[in-house]
Amino acid sequence: MKTNTKHTPTPWAKTNGGEIETVRNYMGDPLVIAHMDASQIGIAEAEANGAFIVRAVNCHEELTAVLADLLDQATGPAQVYGNGCGADGKKTGLTHWEFNKRRDEHIEAARQALAKAKGEA
């Protein structure tokens, strides 16, 4: 079942009580989005869960954008590069150097987004 309701805007943040919040109202006051209940799992696990949720939410848009770019790069036209120009002098696609440079940029963006999502950046 698809809904048009949008989630609370990012970035989200974790507080020291396991709550997840974002600045939402017109005065800039924080709005609590969720509270991690530590009564059955303990404070340390509740804190870890809150941090994991916040990291995942805040990285979601970047990860999906990078993945879409990688898919475009991987599934683009078969004749993506060649000599760069046709017999008429018009550009026919990317040169080999341009193609590799763009590929390397996509790979680096993916590495950075992955490190951020894993909490390593």
> What percentage of the chain carries pLDDT values higher than 70?
76
pLDDT higher at 33 or 75: 33
pLDDT in tens, 65-119: 888 888 777 766 544 555 555 555 566 566 777 778 888 888 888 888 888 888 8
In angstroms, rounded to a whole number, what is the distance separating the alpha carbons of residues 81 and 92?
Answer: 8
Q: What is the arithmetic mean of pLDDT over 8-36?
A: 78
User: Strand pairing partners for 31?
Assistant: 22
Nearest to 53 by CA among 38, 73, 33, 68: 33
- The dihedral region occupied by 69, where left means phi > 0, alpha psi between -120 and 50, and beta the remainder, is alpha
Answer yes or no: pTM beyond 0.85. Answer: no
**Joined tokens for residue 4:** 């048009």
Position 110 scores a pLDDT of 86
Amino acid occupying residue 117: A
In angstroms, rounded to a whole number, what is the distance separating the alpha carbons of residues 10 and 62?
Answer: 12
Mean pLDDT of the chain: 78
